[in-house]
Amino acid sequence: MKNKITLKLQKPSEAERFFEILDNSHFVYFDTRPSSVEAERLFLKDTKAKQKQNFAHNYSIYCDNKLVGGCGIKINQHRKFIGEIGYFIDEAYWGKGIATKAVKLLEKIGFDKLKLERIEVIMQPENKASERVAIKCGYVKEGKLRKVVGKDKKRKDALIYAKVR
């Protein structure tokens, strides 16, 4: 089954659907969860401003015209030629190749439109699905970053994969 994957700039009107996707206890490797639909709406209201400031470029992932996830590129503010890709998919759509297709589309935006020279994907070592996405998209494992993901004093190690232009 071929799924048509498209990326669209995120909108505040998508807050309820994003909250529904992210408010899932199975997202064990995803540290950023909205506390409410309203909190997600406030986050999404900043999408255009973050893009205009070249801070973050966030997109909704649509599969056959249905909102199934989100992705984005966060720009390194000290080295503006480097971007970090992040993504999440509704659990009902896991294992269907959607994240891989979304990352390829996002990478094209990063290299072609944003003129990045390096794109990174950072994930917890236990997140084998995310690691498979990075490998399928041609990212190269560069190593382990110690104590870089998580909140407060519960920082964990992460793997870093990267692709350079």
β-sheet with 140-149: strand ranges across: 5-9, 56-63, 66-75, 82-89, 118-123, 156-164, 140-149
For residues 16-26, average pLDDT: 90
Predicted pLDDT of residue 130: 93
Predicted pLDDT of residue 125: 92
Cβ pair 100, 135 in contact under 8 A: no
pLDDT top residue among 142 and 28 = 142
Instruction: Please name every residue paired with 144 in a beta bridge, in sequence order, or none if there are none.
Output: 159
Predicted pLDDT of residue 148: 87
Long-range contacts formed by 137-145: CB under 8 A, 24+ apart:
137/100, 137/103, 137/104, 137/107, 137/163, 138/163, 139/163
pLDDT top residue among 72 and 29 = 72
Minimal CA–CA distance to 127: which of 21, 31, 40, 57?
31
pTM of the model: 0.92
Structural domain including 95 reads 5-164
pLDDT tens digits, residue range 134-157? Answer: 999 999 999 999 998 877 778 889
Whether 3 shows a pLDDT value over 90: the answer reads: no
Instruction: Please name every residue paired with 66 in a beta bridge, in sequence order, or none if there are none.
Output: 63
Predicted pLDDT of residue 24: 86
For the chain, how far is it from start to end, CA to CA, in angstroms? 31
CA–CA gap between residue 142 and residue 140 (Å, rounded): 6
Average pLDDT, the chain: 92
For residues 96-112, average pLDDT: 96
| Domains contained in the chain, number | 1
Domain at 9, CATH number: 3.40.630.30
